[in-house]
Amino acid sequence: MRTARYVARFGESSADIHVAQRLRWRAFLAQDATSPEGRDADPFDALCRHVLIEEATTGKLVCCYRILPLGPGEIDQSYAAQYYELSALKGFAGRMVEMGRFCIDPDHGRDPDILRVAWGAMTRYVDEEGVDMLFGCSSFKGTDAQHYLDAFTVLRARHLAPTRWLPKVKAPKVFRFAQLLRRKPDAKLAMLRMPPLLRTYLAMGGWVSDHAVVDDKMNTLHVFTGLEIGAIPAARKRLLRAVAG
């Protein structure tokens, strides 16, 4: 997929994957000097397809993410299943895709066009492959839950998963915000501190787990995030497909 400024494509070689892994390291692990070779890599890289968003003029990678297609009952094979007990979602009858390791180059993070192109590329894939649910882990930077109490309060009040799909606790360290928070949030501050990727999920009708996983390795708090494609508002679908071309 191409726009005037950016090109979205699948990674086609090990060199493409290595470039994506280096960008992921910069986004997630640059503060960790022990991370080998300045790359963020794990066994799921070999199972996924990798989407690269590059500058049209220079070819510089500015954003990447990976996608893992899953059939009915296969959600235990996902990355998220390491951290969440997802047995309820085994009953989802449609085709699922996990979207993971989404990151934008820190030097380009203020350009909203990058996020639009990334979602446009994902929209094209969802339409072409007949995907029924998109899911992943949406990450808050850092592990201090106090910094995000307004955001978590809004998630509790408006965006919890339907009971039939609700992920259960599996990780050893979690912040049970749905049980703990009983406060009136500052809505403006909540949106300001909500990760951009999560805001986009929620704008499309996405939902989250009732707890956040404390991931010390990645220095994040993350919530399981699901989006049923059939539930996306029609106006939002039209906007996404306009970007997808």
CB atoms within 10 A of CB 43: 7
Q: How confident is the model at residue 31 (pLDDT cuts 50, 70, 90)?
A: low
Q: Rounded to the nearest 5°, which phi and psi values hold at 188?
A: -65, -45
Please tell us whether the domain made up of 6-244 is placed in CATH 1.20.1090.10: no
Question: Do residues 140 and 211 make contact, with C-beta atoms less than 8 angstroms apart?
Answer: no
Average pLDDT of the chain is 92
CB atoms within 10 A of CB 28: 20
pLDDT in tens, 40-75: 999 999 999 999 999 999 999 999 999 999 988 899
Q: What confidence score (pLDDT) does residue 107 get?
A: 86
% of the chain residues with pLDDT over 90: 79
Q: What confidence score (pLDDT) does residue 244 get?
A: 80
What is the mean predicted confidence (pLDDT) over 203-230?
95
pLDDT in tens, 146-177: 999 999 999 999 999 999 999 999 999 999 99
Q: What confidence score (pLDDT) does residue 7 get?
A: 95
% of the chain residues with pLDDT over 70: 97
Nearest to 66 by CA among 97, 35, 36: 97
Decide which of 160 and 4 is more confident. Answer: 160
Q: What confidence score (pLDDT) does residue 73 get?
A: 87
E strand segments, 71-159: 84-85, 96-104, 133-141
Mean pLDDT check: name the lowest of 83-87, 167-171, 240-244.
240-244
- The answer to whether residue 109 scores a pLDDT higher than 80 is no
Decide which of 31 and 46 is more confident. Answer: 46
- The answer to whether residue 239 scores a pLDDT higher than 80 is yes
Question: Do residues 129 and 49 make contact, with C-beta atoms less than 8 angstroms apart?
Answer: no
Spell out the residues 6+ positions from residue 68 whose beta carbon is closer than 8 angstroms to its own.
44, 47, 48, 49, 77, 78, 79, 97, 98, 100
- The answer to whether residue 192 scores a pLDDT higher than 70 is yes
Separation of alpha carbons 161 and 171, rounded Å = 18
| Cα-based angle 138, 144, 150 (whole degrees, multiple of 5) | 70
- The answer to whether residue 111 scores a pLDDT higher than 60 is yes
What is the mean predicted confidence (pLDDT) over 182-206?
91
- Residue whose pair of structure tokens reads 């990450």 in the numeric block: 139
- The answer to whether residue 221 scores a pLDDT higher than 90 is yes
What is the mean predicted confidence (pLDDT) over 92-115?
91
Tokens for 11, please give them: 């990674």
Separation of alpha carbons 208 and 176, rounded Å = 12
